[in-house]
Amino acid sequence: MAVEYSVPLSDIIKTFSLTPICCADETDKVLIRSAEINKPGLQLFGQYQYFDETRIEIIGLTEMQCIKEFDLEQREKALEEFFSRRPPAVIITRNLEPGEVMLQAAKRHNVPLLHSADGTSAFMAALISYLNVHLAPRVTRHGVLVEVYGEGILLLGESGVGKSETAIELIKRGHRLIADDAVEIRRVSSRSLVGSAPDNIRHYVELRGIGIINARRIFGMGSIKQTEKIDLVLNMELWNPERAYDRMGLENEYTEILGLQIPSITIPVKPGRNLAVIIEVAAMNNRQKKLGYNAAKELLAQLGLDQSDAEDLPLQDDWS
């Protein structure tokens, strides 16, 4: 069964500096569970067929002007029916005055009525983005998340393979740590995942033989970041001489996380390999691929070969 997440209305009030108008005494107990919001234009004319009572309602200049043009009887009827549906909150943008009829209807049905100084479009965009993150489906993976040249790199692998040590080397080279050991991954849209660290272990790194260190304290504020989009998954595994590792990079591999396919590569680990440099190159190469450039395909084209001939090329140790 899917887990349902929520965010207290009080957190939204604090984040967006909203001003309570009425019925906002226990907003910490009002839980928002829908990332979608609504502007009740049609509802003011009695259209409630597809009305979702879990959404936050936004009243802007258009809705307020519509209410003002109603005569007193129409206004009372429309607002009474609207507030009787008891949406979790009604937010009026541009600090527009609600009017006595709206104020009384909100009080009767105990619906929090709030003010925002922002314009309607800007406020809605910011609120939707906020709710998408805080209500997103999520999963926790054992691994390390770092930002390398603007690319979010998720390092996965067995304990002891060297993920944390590699992350420290990357930090020393000017890159940033998001999470070590446990990475909380959220699906914030139909195309992207965002990773962060659980609050209680944020900025901490475990190094075998040394113990727990605080990366922010040792390397400074520039060495850490709160969240980052996951662009590439690197699976680190001990070198297996029996396994044939990808030598050309022509075939695209993916790792499925929360229903999304994320580009991934496998990095064999053995003494003498500079993993930090390899990950830097992987990050830059992944960015080039997103821009439409593939070095392996270009090489084959220059040699006059197609992809089926790639396995016959003398690469790496075969070159003299």
- Please state the three-class secondary structure of 126-189 as a single string: HHHHHHHHHCCCEEEEEEEEEEECCEEEEEEECCCCCHHHHHHHHHHCCCEEEEEEEEEEEECC
- The chain-wide mean pLDDT, for the chain, equals 90
Q: In the predicted model, is pLDDT for residue 36 greater than 70?
A: yes
Q: Is 191 a catalytic site residue?
A: no
Closest of 263, 307, 261 to residue 283, by C-alpha: 263
pLDDT of res. 173: 94
Element holding 313 (H helix, E strand): none
Close Cβ partners of 312 (under 8 Å, ≥ 6 residues apart): none
**Over the stretch 141-187, which tens digit does the pLDDT of each residue have?**
999 999 999 999 999 999 888 899 999 999 999 999 999 999 999 99
Confidence grade of residue 110 (pLDDT, cut at 50, 70, 90): very high
The C-alpha atoms of residue 82 and residue 118 are separated, in whole angstroms, by 23
pLDDT of res. 319: 36
- What 8-state DSSP symbol labels residue 292? T
**Over the stretch 157-170, which tens digit does the pLDDT of each residue have?**
998 888 999 999 99
Q: In the predicted model, is pLDDT for residue 4 greater than 90?
A: no
Q: Is 109 a catalytic site residue?
A: no
Amino acid 308 reads S
pLDDT of res. 318: 44
The C-alpha atoms of residue 293 and residue 309 are separated, in whole angstroms, by 20
Q: In the predicted model, is pLDDT for residue 317 greater than 80?
A: no
Q: If you average pLDDT over residues 277-291, what whole number do you get?
A: 91
Pairing mode, if any, of strands 90-92 and 56-59?
parallel
> Exactly one of 163, 175, 186, 225 is catalytic; which is it?
163
Q: Is 181 a catalytic site residue?
A: yes
Q: Is 247 a catalytic site residue?
A: yes
The C-alpha atoms of residue 199 and residue 203 are separated, in whole angstroms, by 9
> Exactly one of 181, 202, 229, 297 is catalytic; which is it?
181
The share of the chain scoring above pLDDT 90, in percent, equals 73
Complete domains list, the chain, with CATH: 7-134 (3.40.1390.20), 138-300 (3.40.50.300)
pTM over the 0.75 mark: yes
SS3 track for 199-240: HHHCCEEEECCCEEEEHHHHHCHHHECCEEECCEEEEEEECC
